[in-house]
A and B are shown apart, each in its own frame.
Chain A
Amino acid sequence: MARLELKDIRKSFGGTDVLRGIDLDVEDGEFMSLVGASGCGKSTLLRIISGLENADSGQILLDGRPVGDDPPSGRNVAMVFQDYALYPHMSVAQNMAMPLVMARLPIYARLPGGRLFTPHLRGSRADIALQVEKVAGQLRIDHLLSRRPAQLSGGQRQRVALGRALVRNPSLFLMDEPLSNLDAKLRVEVRKEIVELHRKSDLTFVYVTHDQTEAMTMSDRVALLRHGRLLQVAMPGSLYFDPATIDVARFIGSPEINLFPARRKDGTLSFAGVRLSLSGGPMGDSDLMVAIRPEALVVKGAAGVASSPLEGPQFSIGVTREAIEDLGAEIVIHGRIARMPDIALRIRAQKSLHHAGPVAVPAQFDVRASLSSLLFFGADGQRINGVTAGVAQKALAR
């Protein structure tokens, strides 16, 4: 239970800047995910928070207290590692007891045989054993307490690692890709359990992942990291529907968002053969990028594809089909714009529930979309807000 503040954290390794000024506030009890491509510095940031690594500059505050100079053990943080990092020569019970033993027993009582000389600590030892059993019960690993890590399955090891982190009521719970070594099914299951754990415990979580699905489904807020900078920190929904930059829009969402180079001239926007009137936003002629999510495009004239009704003014684009991926309940169509074959297009569509036969998409087809689902970005990649697109006078809506 703690509030974490990072102020202008910087870190470089031998001349390579890995973190270039990170400012991040994590509220008490919040589940914050750090997402980003491989090598963008997520683990480094987490290790700096935990104290395993020192930042070159910047401040780390836990509940307002600077902890930058404290060793990991002095910060009362718990960390779950990707490879679980269980102590191989100890039983599950011993593994889980370690953080408490280290925190509550003096060093002479922890030495081999220390138990014999410290009968007065019997109460503390019993408390620790009790706490371990309680947490093991919560995680449903109480039947495994006497086993060694080598005798456990991946999912069981994962739970032990979670248990070891949980026993001592940490103020901050750090996880570095804890699910990446599990198979797909188990991953979904443990994902749910971690969310449940967070909901029940009110602990502050910082969760590192490169899997955006994990980040989007589990977190209160997501921090998107790229090349050592935070691109955007927002709730999963607004990150998806309201991205601040073109990089965010491209990173979040699968298949990737559709992007079209566009030109604004005399209040008219033209892209991909579409002409729209544009009002609001910075005036003047400029180059823009127009973006639209793959599921906002609605396919016309394909058999077996549900076409959801569109609202408001619309536009349409002619598409040449290239490939179709069948995902079961939905399909992803890869195509190119008919009049501009160098622009690729991705469309995600639900299958129709009432259609028995296979999906049939013609080689040439039209897609339609609402103008309201368009996103506009400037040439610098920043989102342009306050722009409204309208149907141009000589609209092309065929």
Chain B
Amino acid sequence: MSLIQTASAPMAPLMTRAAQALKGLTPGKVLTFLVLLGGAWVVIFPYVWMISSSLKPTDEVYDADFTIWPKTFAGVQNYLDVLIEQPYPTFLLNSLIVCAGVLAVQLVTAIPAAYALAKLKFRGATILLGTVIACITIPINVTSIPLYLGLVRAGLLDTYFSMMFPFLVSVFAIFLFRQFFKSYPESIIEAARVDGFSEIEIVLRLIVPAAVPAVAAFSVFSFVAHWNDLYWPLIVVQSQDKMTASLSMMQYRSEFDINYGRTFAAATVVTIPMLIVFFFARRAFVRGITMSGVKG
């Protein structure tokens, strides 16, 4: 008796809520909903396909009639192959080291630079800002050959340093943060100067806490970009033990694989860290993009 009562009590308002929602439903709303649903499916389908295929044996991946859940479940085998037989943990760790290292140095260099460009008055500030903006337009492809030659000379190929080097200073980050810092109230900075803050402490204690959304947004951008980067690792990485996750995917396709189930399992393993990063930073990321969008 009492069980039924407690169970049905929350049910009742739920039902009426559902009924109310249905009552407010106009054909227009239904249409909107369907369009959004279609869009979401288009975006999500490749992931569903990837995960689904990673659970199948190779011949079923090729099967004409696609089922989301495999007919023959080969998931355990595929993932064990990837995680244990192949050095995937090493690849993932390499990617993580490169991405985290790049991001850390980018933040350490970009935040003070952006503060200087946004809030300090000094000779040549305008020209410097113009230079920063101009640098955004230079693609990595232009600088890669001189960088490569330099790294060869220095004997630094196939090191973590060489993998990070071209990305350590991000002009995009400088510009993004500068736009964000620009709107920070001048009088608070002046109050801080009167109170005895050093400029570094103004940045650390006042500016950065206010810029968390921008920092989060940029961090996601940077992390994803370097996790997925194929171009530069392909140039400087030579040995297996410096191989990054995305680079390893390419090696699979070319060398061994006929085993598509396993390839998809590897792809899943490589993408999952990105999903985790995004889920943690999602709210701040969205806020950062929309805010900088309004002001930029």
Are B198 and A83 in contact (CB-based, < 8 A)? no
Q: Are B201 and A85 in contact (CB-based, < 8 A)?
A: no
> Per-position contact with A for B176-219: 1 when CB-CB < 8 Å, else 0?
00000000010110111111111001000110011000000000
- Do A88 and B201 form a contact, CB below 8 Å, given A50-B194, A99-B196? no
CB distance from B207 to the nearest CB of A (A): 10
Chain B: residues with CB nearer than 8 A to chain A?
A: 185, 187-188, 190-198, 201, 205-206, 209-210
Looking across the interface, which residue of chain A has its beta carbon closest to that of B190? Answer: A52
Could you tell me the dominant secondary structure of chain A's interface residues?
mixed
Cβ-closest chain B residue relative to A176: B187
User: Is B185 a contact partner of A72 (Cβ separation < 8 A)?
Assistant: no
Among A85, A88, A89, which residue has the most Cβ atoms of chain B within 10 A?
A85
| A-side contacts of B194, CB under 8 Å | 50-52, 72-73, 77-79
Chain B hits for A103, CB < 8 A: 196
Interface of B is mostly: helix
Q: For the complex, is A86 an interface residue (Cβ under 8 Å from B)?
A: yes
Q: Assuming A102-B197, A103-B196, A107-B198, is B188 touching A86 (CB within 8 A)?
A: yes
Shortest distance between the CB of A164 and any CB in chain B (Å): 7
Q: Which parts of A75-117 form the interface with B (CB within 8 Å)? A: 77-79, 81-83, 85-89, 98-99, 102-103, 107, 110
Looking at the assembled complex, report how far the CB atom of A255 sits from the nearest CB atom of chain B, in whole angstroms.
Answer: 34
A-chain residues with CB within 8 Å of residue B206 when the two chains form the complex? 87, 89
Name 22 interchain pairs, CB-CB below 8 A, sorted by A.
A52-B190, A52-B193, A52-B194, A73-B194, A73-B197, A81-B187, A83-B185, A83-B187, A85-B185, A85-B187, A86-B191, A87-B191, A87-B205, A87-B206, A89-B206, A89-B209, A98-B192, A102-B195, A103-B196, A107-B198, A107-B201, A164-B195
Whether A313 sits at the interface, judged by CB under 8 Å, is no
A71: CB under 8 A from chain B? Answer: yes
Interface centre among A47, A71, A86, A102 (most CB of B within 10 A): A102
- The answer to whether A89 and B191 have CB atoms under 8 Å apart is no
Residue of A nearest to B206 (CB): A87
Q: Contacting B193 at CB < 8 Å: which of A73, A78, A83, A86?
A: A73
Total chain A interface residues with beta-carbon distance under 8 A: 25
Where the two chains meet, the residues of A that have a C-beta atom closer than 8 Å to any C-beta of B are 47, 50-52, 71-73, 77-79, 81-83, 85-89, 98-99, 102-103, 107, 110, 164
Beyond A73-B196, A98-B192, 6 additional pairs, beta carbon < 8 A: A73-B193, A85-B187, A87-B191, A88-B188, A99-B196, A107-B198
Determine the distance from Cα of A89 to Cα of B188 in the docked complex, in whole angstroms: 11
CB-nearest residue of chain A to B189:
A85
Chain B nearest CB from A54 CB (Å) reads 11
In the complex, which residue of chain B has the Cβ closest to the Cβ of A111?
B204
CA distance A120 to B209 in the complex (A): 28
In the complex, residue of chain A having the shortest beta-carbon distance to the beta carbon of B209: A89
**Chain B residues, CB < 8 A from A164:** 191, 195
Q: Is the pair A99, B195 in contact by a Cβ cutoff of 8 Å? A: yes
Q: Which residues of B contact A102 (CB under 8 A)?
A: 195-197, 201
Task: Report the bound CA distance from A79 to B192 in whole Å.
Answer: 10
Measured CA separation A72–B194 after assembly (Å): 5
B195 touches A73 (CB 8 A): yes
Rounded to whole Å, the gap between the CB of A166 and the closest CB of chain B is 12
* Separation of A306 and B227 alpha carbons in the complex (Å): 87
Picked from B190, B201, B209, B210, the residue with its CB within 8 Å of the CB of A81 is: B190
Give every chain B residue within 8 A of A107 (Cβ-Cβ). Answer: 198, 201
- Residue of B188, B192, B194, B196 with most partner-chain A CB within 10 A: B194
**Which A residues are in CB contact (< 8 Å) with B201?**
102, 107, 110
Q: Are A89 and B210 touching (Cβ within 8 A)?
A: yes
List A contacts of B193 (CB < 8 A).
51-52, 71-73
Closest-CB distance, A99 to chain B (whole angstroms): 4
Please indicate the chain A residues that have their CB under 8 angstroms from the CB of B188 in the complex: 85-88
Q: Nearest Cβ distance between residue B211 and chain A, in whole angstroms?
A: 11
Q: Which residues of B contact A72 (CB under 8 A)?
A: 190, 193-194, 196
